[in-house]
Amino acid sequence: DTEVTQTPKHLVMGMTNKKSLKCEQHMGHRAMYWYKQKAKKPPELMFVYSYEKLSINESVPSRFSPECPNSSLLNLHLHALQPEDSALYLCASSQDQWGLYGYTFGSGTRLTVV
């Protein structure tokens, strides 16, 4: 299995809702990442987990809450989002945060906040 699987593919949520995005990989990768990509813009790093511990938080608002329950899973919990948070959320993984291993990206969750 050489894929990063993200669910759901599409999500529409209200500003008072709580939802979660899921990301899964079975490549034995020990680093996992969340990126946010607005329309016509490049991806921007949000969080890095390394060996299931939060390694980088790029000053993301607390309405986004990441969680790494085990080495294969990465969640992004969403609460009280704003319409400007609508974007494509990409998960990626790599063998390790500290080496030259490259990254595998998932297909993303397209989030619309109404």
Partner 1 sequence: EDKVVQSPLSLVVHEGDTVTLNCSYEVTNFRSLLWYKQEKKAPTFLFMLTSSGIEKKSGRLSSILDKKELFSILNITATQTGDSAVYLCAVENQGGKLIFGQGTELSVKP
Which positions touch partner 1 (CB under 8 A)?
A: 4, 31, 33, 35, 41-45, 48, 50, 55-56, 88, 90, 94, 97-98, 100, 102-108
Q: Considering the complex, what minimum distance in angstroms separates the CB of residue 102 from partner 1?
A: 5
Provide CB contacts within 8 A for 100, sequence distance 6+: none
Q: What's the Rg (C-alpha) of the chain?
A: 13
DSSP reduced 3-state for 66:
strand
Quick one: 55 or 86, whose CB is closer to partner 1?
55
Rounded Cα distance between 112 and 110, Å, is 7
Q: Considering the complex, what minimum distance in angstroms separates the CB of residue 41 from partner 1?
A: 7
Quick one: 18 or 41, whose CB is closer to partner 1?
41
Q: Residue 65 is which amino acid?
A: S
Q: Considering the complex, what minimum distance in angstroms separates the CB of residue 26 from partner 1?
A: 17
